[in-house]
Amino acid sequence: MKPPVRIPDSPEQSSWLSDLQRLVPWPVLVGAVGIVLLVGLAILLILLPEGRPAPTPTALPGAGPSLPSPFPTPTPCDPYTDLLEAMQRLISSVNYEAAADLGWKTLEDPSRPGCPESRMEVARLAYEAEIEAMFARPGDGAPLIDRWTRAEQRADRFGLPPSKRRPPLAIAQRAFHERRWELARHAFLKAWAQGAFRTCEPQVSQFYYELLWQGGAQKARNPQTQLQGIRWLLLARDLNQICQLGRREADRELGRLGPLPSPQPSSEPDPYVEAARGR
């Protein structure tokens, strides 16, 4: 058998392979090529995700400029801790004027935006202090009524609900016991106007009769307020007759006063008595 015929390498292949083998041993050459390929593959795997261009967002037709983001962080509100403690101390020391003044001024200060619940508590304490300061002062009549009106207006302004205030009938009862007849009558009529009770309701009508005859008797004994006192007594007598209260104090007090001035005064207008008369 003839030995297999060996096909000779081409002159070009034989030439450059032979030259490369003479310069670098074959095992070293194969290893170097493998390392280069592995390093290149690793670099491609690392850089490929970051090398991709970010997708350009498509602008919607008619869309304006994008809004700034993130939104600004809200400023924390003031819990009024020190203020509330200061007001409590003033109220405990019966310094109602200072407590009310401190509370109202703070609520009116735009540089101190308190928390809603804290502002409500400050308004409640300021209102209570205002009412106590009102009763702590001597006197009756328009100055007292005006102060109570201002306290109610401030309570309205700062959102203090009626459930956290003194009801008008409670103001009337306290004023009655302290013999502040003008304030008591004003508060009674306000309570009736707000629908707190009905006309000629027995218990409240008895209270109003007491207010009119006692206040009228005191005023009638003072020469400066005698005419007003007589009018209150006449009003009490009318209320007694209209609502059938069975009382006689106003009549007796009018009898003790002797002959009425001429011309005889009439009872002054009163919405509660007029409503009872027209029932």
Structure tokens at 136: 């702590």
Average pLDDT over residues 13-31: 54
Q: What is the pLDDT of residues 60-116, one digit of tens each?
A: 555 455 555 455 555 577 888 999 999 999 999 999 999 999 999 999 998 888 899
Residues 174/136, Cβ–Cβ less than 8 Å: no
What value does the mean pLDDT take over residues 228-245?
Answer: 95
Q: What is residue 102's predicted lDDT score, i.e. its pLDDT?
A: 96
By the 8 A CB rule, do 106 and 80 touch? yes
Which of 201, 186, 263 shows the shortest CA–CA distance to 227? Answer: 263
How confident is the model at residue 76, as a pLDDT? Answer: 73
Cα atoms found within 13 Å of the Cα of residue 168, Cβ hemisphere only: 18
Among residues 111, 121, 110, 124, the alpha carbon closest in space to that of 79 is found at 121
Q: Is the CB of residue 211 less than 8 Å from the CB of residue 184?
A: yes
Mean pLDDT for all residues in the chain: 83
